[in-house]
Structure 1
């Protein structure tokens, strides 16, 4: 009997799953209530704690309708999108069909709202510190007046992770040579396509604004 998703596309190594979340922290937050689904794209920062999987920390605009879904212990799903690309049979060493390779992580968990203003402030500082990296060019000060004003307009929350799964499809079932070629294509596609795409997108957007 065929299994779906194919086992060889399911990533089980927690370290690899965490790496995707950390390298691509702009997640897609999905919640549902009364048959209504809401989706928001926000940074979700992974933090280890004493639990089995750890947690995600985030904040959201208080005027976002999805806030109505964010109730303590309610369920949420976050999707993290890593690199992805079309794989043409023309690049492979054997006869294959066209396919799409991608790295995606699904995280499920329980919402915990941060009611305390100091907690939300500290979360913003930790998130900024993570995103700035090991050699930060910017440090968000605890007494930053802009942050203090922003606290009136955001809702801070955590997602207690209850399960996760990695969906890593990069031609694992193909011959060794083809796996290497598909890997090279995935890397090259990210390097070559982004600049042209962004330039075109920004130029078109600028034309619309200036008309």
Structure 2
């Protein structure tokens, strides 16, 4: 066994503002909770109004088997920012292949919010946040019948964040020129080519 700390301290960020901002910019997260077996759900999250860095909101399908595991239970929300493979060919000198990434882990306690007014507040806040993020203007105002049909099918979740950790692996121990090269690799990430887009069409039944 090694006595080296993990993750390496150079890859752990205490920049609270950067972590809050990353959750806002990349809101599609993984919600993990303990159980037998442990459960995960992939879903969008937002900071609750006046709760940045302290309280997350989301909602689940009531039929999701993870739902009953969440009331007053510990959970971890993992938010993934950009990531990219780092080939040694990008740099001069002695390098091994590695992967850079930006991730925020929010650990805390979840609570189910099943009151209609609470759930409606979550839906309104999430719609406003994501519409603004993508430059759109849709609102649930005037959609009362549709919302009334939806509410019995979902449950709101409020997560009190007790610990927030940034895992930012960005070649912090390398010279500035190499860090610039690594950041540029995020923009060159492969995969979103015509063949992959066609695969997505097939997966969607088109």
Q: Could you say whether these structures have the same fold, taking a TM-score greater than 0.5 normalized by the shorter chain as the test?
A: yes
Greater displacement, 41-50 / 14-23: 41-50
What residue number does 1:23 align with? 25
Q: Secondary structure at the match of 2:66?
A: helix
Greater helix fraction, Structure 1 or Structure 2: 1
Q: Deviations over 1:93-130 (max 9, x none)?
A: 33311110011111111112213111101110011000
What residue number does 2:39 align with? 38
Q: Secondary structure at the match of 2:191?
A: helix
Structure 2: distance between partners of 1:78 and 1:100: 21
What residue number does 2:156 align with? 156
Shift of 1:50: 6.4
Greater displacement, 108-117 / 7-16: 108-117
Q: Indicate how the Cα distance of structure 1 residues 196 and 88 shifts in structure 2: closer, same or farther if over 3 A, else same.
A: farther
Shift of 1:200: 3.8
What residue number does 2:131 align with? 132
**Structure 2 counterparts to residues 154-193 of structure 1, below 5 A:** 154-189=154-189, 193=191
What residue number does 1:5 align with? 7
Instruction: Answer yes or no: is the 8 Å Cα contact 1:8–1:173 preserved in 2.
Output: yes
Instruction: Give the root-mean-square deviation of aligned CA atoms.
Output: 2.0
**Structure 1: gaps of 5 or more residues:** none
Instruction: Answer yes or no: is the 8 Å Cα contact 1:48–1:54 preserved in 2.
Output: no
TM-score, structure 1 as length reference:
0.88
Structure 1: distance between partners of 2:9 and 2:49: 27
Shift of 1:2: 2.3
Q: Indicate how the Cα distance of structure 1 residues 50 and 170 shifts in structure 2: closer, same or farther if over 3 A, else same.
A: closer
1:145 aligns with 2:161: no
Number of aligned residue pairs: 203
Q: Indicate how the Cα distance of structure 1 residues 50 and 29 shifts in structure 2: closer, same or farther if over 3 A, else same.
A: closer
Structure 2: distance between partners of 1:142 and 1:165: 39
**Structure 2: gaps of 5 or more residues:** none
Runs of 4+ in 1 over 2 A off after TM superposition: 47-51, 134-137, 192-198, 203-206
Q: Secondary structure at the match of 1:94?
A: coil
Q: Secondary structure at the match of 1:152?
A: helix
Shift of 1:187: 2.2
Greater displacement, 77-86 / 111-120: 111-120
1:103 aligns with 2:105: no
1:84 aligns with 2:86: no
Structure 1: distance between partners of 2:127 and 2:66: 23
Q: Secondary structure at the match of 1:29?
A: strand
TM-score, structure 2 as length reference:
0.90
Instruction: Answer yes or no: is the 8 Å Cα contact 1:125–1:142 preserved in 2.
Output: no
